[in-house]
Chains A and B, each alone.
Chain A
Amino acid sequence: MKMLDASITEAFERGGLSAFEIAESALLVGTTGGIFIRNEHEFTESVRRNPGMESPPIVCRNRGPGEVADVIARKYGIRGLPMTFSMACVSSSHALVVAADLIAQKRIRRAVVVGFEPLLNLTLQGFASLLLYDPDECRPFCNRRMGMQIGEAASCVILEESDSAARQKRLFVCRRSSV
């Protein structure tokens, strides 16, 4: 979560957002592993505390896929529309597209779009079971590469309609085309 906090804090500082602007923003979070952090932690702790016993069934009680968004919204005081996109590798990409659409349709003025993918045993073992890893090294441009490598990252992008940004510090404008 420190990684997540660092990216959001930096985005807010770069954008120079006021508390009011943060509060009125929509929050769109793209994450898949983020939904399983607590479940995996509880399962791991249960196994650690009960060595030698049969592993308990992993508790997957539904805390709601929006848990990460809820944590972010509470911590930073974001009160606009919250949405979570759990779509594996395209989670945050989809969140960006939907945020841009909502702004273009003038349904929201500003969106805080977060991409968050922590490294979990679930993810590591899942890709391993599909035999997808390169056992040697990360070599994405080599025609003899034997697989992939994965990592973890967090990012935050603040999108808003260009008119309202005219008076603000401007980083750059993204032009979207219809699909």
Chain B
Amino acid sequence: MKNGNIHIRGWGAVTALGWGAEGARRLIAGDVHPAGVCGSAHLVNREFKGFEVACDGNPWKRR
């Protein structure tokens, strides 16, 4: 293996949940909305960082 610069020229991503590449890019970049306080009864404590990622909608509809 060698060091070197590899250029990422294009990418796309789709899930059955409606996530697209733009949502994935924002997630990787940390561009996400803080999640509201989790009200799930099963949690022992709620002192963790949570985030929400908006679904892009219909994965078959491409911009």
Contacts and interface: CB of A to CB of B under 8 A. Distances in A.
Interface of A: 2-3, 6-17, 100-101, 103-105, 110, 119, 136, 139, 141-144, 151-162, 164-165, 168-179
Contacts of B42: 136, 139, 142, 144
Contact of B1 (A144, A158, A175, A178): A178
A10 B17 CA distance: 17
Interface in B12-56: 12-17, 19-21, 24, 40, 42-44, 48, 50
Main secondary structure of the interface of A (DSSP, over half): mixed
Contacts, number: 148
Contacts of A179: 1
A156 B12 contact: yes
17 contacts: A2-B59, A6-B59, A7-B14, A10-B20, A15-B10, A103-B4, A142-B42, A142-B43, A144-B44, A152-B16, A153-B15, A155-B11, A156-B10, A161-B4, A172-B7, A174-B8, A176-B3
Nearest to B60: A2
Interface of B: 1-17, 19-21, 24, 40, 42-44, 48, 50, 59-60, 62
B7 A159 contact: yes
A123 B19 CA distance: 21
Given A104-B1, A144-B42, A157-B11, A176 B6 contact: yes
A14 B7 contact: no
Contacts of A14: 9-12, 21
8 closest A-B pairs (Cβ-Cβ)? A15-B10, A10-B12, A14-B10, A155-B13, A7-B12, A11-B12, A165-B7, A153-B15
A165 B9 CA distance: 8
B2 to A, nearest CB: 5
Given A9-B62, A139-B42, A179-B1, A154 B9 contact: no
A156 B60 contact: no
